């Protein structure tokens, strides 16, 4: 008779491994599709669908004689090992064609989630009913306790797998390394179940070799990340040119900054130029001022200010220390030393603002990126916090991305900011390609308007959209103010026909 504690241990281990794969799924999709509400919604739905289908099949198998059911259980776990190891290959082979063929990001997210992670979840769902039936049938008189123990083992395994993936494995081993470990766990559990079911030894050897060989192959594949942190897949892309080296920082799937080796003041992204120039416009003539930057990226703005000799005390809230290290290692950012050094805090920007009683002359928000926007940094409550941390005459500057044929996000952001500040301006780069539907704007909010309506820089131009034009945009769209309770930014930023 198979001991109950062994069945409990196997069930807990399978459950833990399957939840590790679910957490890793989000990290693996991020370099191709980013991290958003849509990404996690799709992953969770696909994994649960796989578990459900697996449980149904496992329930049919559970009616077989125990030895036969245990053999089938072993093969199911080994299939989970094989499909888990193969996830790396499937994702990298299908991501490009799927993203190209699908009409928008949501369709791509759902399709890739199904292609890559349904089968690992399906095979991982098969053992639960089989092991539970074996536990009940082989422990007469203790069926209720055995069933309760199996259910509890599944729940505890899921909890431990989630915690291990988020706090241990991905940080230490990365996504691919974590999947290799999960593959190894599945192989051991599968072979154990085959041994209990008295499977043929040759089959057990093949079951050992194939998944481990595929997992080993996954480790030899090129890593898409220059560095993989707890938050992002960080990629550094070189673009050599006649005027020197230019580098792009890609966080997950989006370019978050561009820097030039030979020209620290170069703002090679339109909204980057505005986030650099507009605070300088508002602080013009001051002998000293202070700035709080939400997010670091390539740290191009503080790098440019330092090169210009701006009399600014800089604080940067960058939640990911690896992003800061990458900026220093690859993007020529030097925070300085001593009293005049830039202050960098590895913290969520809102949390740091709330914890500290410091005040600033400028707060810069660079939160927007594709459909993945930190909702807690765009709400009325956050704006109220930011306003409370501004000195008299201070200004809040932030970028906003929207579709030109809708402008619902811009409308909501302006309305939200107007709940807090009497003056809310919208600036844009007039060089925008008219064929491109998406556009980046910059909001400037404060107690009074800017002194000029346009800014000319070597790297571009920014103009202030007339207040009458903004009022007309607002009058033609539904009234929506983002709050901590309701900020549907993912839906508003989704492509046409989605959400």
Cβ of 147: how many Cβ atoms within 10 Å?
15
Instruction: Please give the Cα distance from 353 to 310 (Å, whole number).
Output: 23
pLDDT for 242: 60
pLDDT for 497: 46
DSSP code string of 116-148: HHHHHHHHHHSHHHHHHHHHHHTSTT-HHHHHH
CATH topology of domain 233-493: Rossmann fold (3.40.50)
Same fold, 4-224 and 233-493: no
User: Please, which contacts does 236-242 make with residues 24 or more away whose CB atoms are closer than 8 Å?
Assistant: 236/326, 236/330, 236/331
pLDDT digits (tens, 9 = 90+) for 26-46: 889 988 887 777 888 999 999
Query: What confidence tier does 246 reach under pLDDT thresholds 50, 70, 90?
Result: very high
Check whether 1 has a pLDDT greater than 60: no
pLDDT for 357: 93
Residue 194 to residues 60, 171, 183, 197: CA-CA distances in angstroms? 18, 33, 16, 5
Check whether 498 has a pLDDT greater than 60: no
pLDDT for 208: 77
Parse the chain into domains and list their residue ranges.
4-224, 233-493
Contacts of 491 (CB under 8 A, 6+ apart): 499
Query: What confidence tier does 103 reach under pLDDT thresholds 50, 70, 90?
Result: confident
Q: Which two tokens stand for residue 94?
A: 């299908």
CATH superfamily label, 4-224: MFS general substrate transporter like domains (1.20.1250.20)
Query: What confidence tier does 499 reach under pLDDT thresholds 50, 70, 90?
Result: very low
Rounded mean pLDDT of 229-250?
Answer: 87
pLDDT for 258: 92
Q: Are 451 and 281 in contact (CB under 8 A)?
A: yes
Rounded mean pLDDT of 406-432?
Answer: 94
Phi and psi based region of residue 252 (left: phi greater than 0; alpha: psi -120 to 50; beta: remaining): left
Rounded mean pLDDT of 156-181?
Answer: 91
């Amino acid at each position: 008779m198979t001991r109950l504690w062994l069945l409990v241990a196997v069930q807990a281990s399978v459950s833990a491994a399957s939840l590790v794969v679910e957490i890793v799924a989000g990290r693996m999709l991020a370099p191709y599709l980013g991290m958003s509400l849509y990404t996690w919604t799709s992953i969770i739905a696909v994994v649960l669908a796989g578990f459900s289908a697996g449980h149904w099949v496992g329930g049919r198998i559970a009616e077989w004689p125990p030895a036969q059911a245990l053999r089938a259980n072993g093969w199911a776990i080994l299939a989970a090992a094989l499909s888990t190891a193969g996830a790396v290959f499937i994702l990298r082979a299908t991501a490009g064609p799927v993203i190209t063929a699908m009409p928008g990001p949501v369709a791509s997210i759902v399709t890739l989630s199904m292609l890559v992670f349904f089968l690992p979840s399906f095979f991982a769902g098969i053992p639960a009913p089989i092991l539970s039936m074996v536990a009940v049938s082989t422990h007469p008189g203790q069926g209720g306790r055995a069933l309760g123990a199996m259910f509890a083992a599944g729940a505890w395994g899921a909890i431990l797998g989630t915690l291990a993936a988020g706090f241990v494995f991905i940080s230490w081993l990365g996504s691919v390394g974590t999947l290799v470990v999960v593959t190894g766990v599945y192989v051991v559990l599968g072979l154990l179940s085959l041994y209990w079911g008295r499977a043929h030894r040759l089959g057990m050897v093949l079951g050992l070799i194939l998944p481990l060989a595929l997992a080993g192959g996954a480790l030899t594949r090129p890593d898409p990340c220059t560095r993989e942190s707890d938050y992002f897949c960080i990629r550094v892309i070189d673009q050599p040119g006649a005027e020197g080296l230019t580098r792009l920082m890609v966080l997950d799937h989006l370019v978050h900054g561009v820097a030039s080796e030979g020209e620290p003041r170069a703002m090679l992204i339109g909204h980057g130029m505005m986030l650099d120039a507009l605070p300088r416009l508002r602080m013009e003539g001051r002998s000293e001022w202070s700035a709080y930057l939400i997010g670091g990226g390539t740290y191009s703005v503080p790098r440019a200010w330092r090169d210009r000799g701006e009399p600014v005390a800089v604080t940067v809230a960058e939640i990911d220390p690896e992003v800061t290290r990458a900026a220093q290692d690859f993007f020529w950012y030097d925070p300085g030393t001593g009293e005049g050094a830039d202050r960098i805090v590895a913290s969520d920007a809102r949390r740091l603002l709330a914890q500290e009683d410091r005040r600033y002359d400028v707060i810069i928000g660079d939160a927007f990126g594709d459909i993945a926007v930190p909702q807690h940094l765009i709400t009325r409550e956050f704006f109220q916090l930011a306003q409370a941390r501004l000195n008299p005459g201070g200004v809040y500057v932030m970028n906003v991305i929207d579709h030109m044929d809708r402008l619902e996000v811009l409308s909501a952001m302006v309305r939200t900011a107007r709940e807090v500040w009497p003056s809310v301006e919208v600036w844009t780069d007039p060089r925008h390609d008219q064929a491109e539907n998406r556009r980046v704007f910059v909001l400037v909010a404060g107690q009074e308007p800017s002194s000029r309506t346009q800014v000319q820089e070597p790297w571009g131009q920014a103009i202030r959209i007339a207040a009458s034009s903004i009022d007309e945009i607002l009058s033609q769209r539904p009234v929506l103010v983002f709050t901590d309770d309701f900020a549907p930014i993912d839906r508003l930023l989704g492509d046409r026909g989605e959400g």
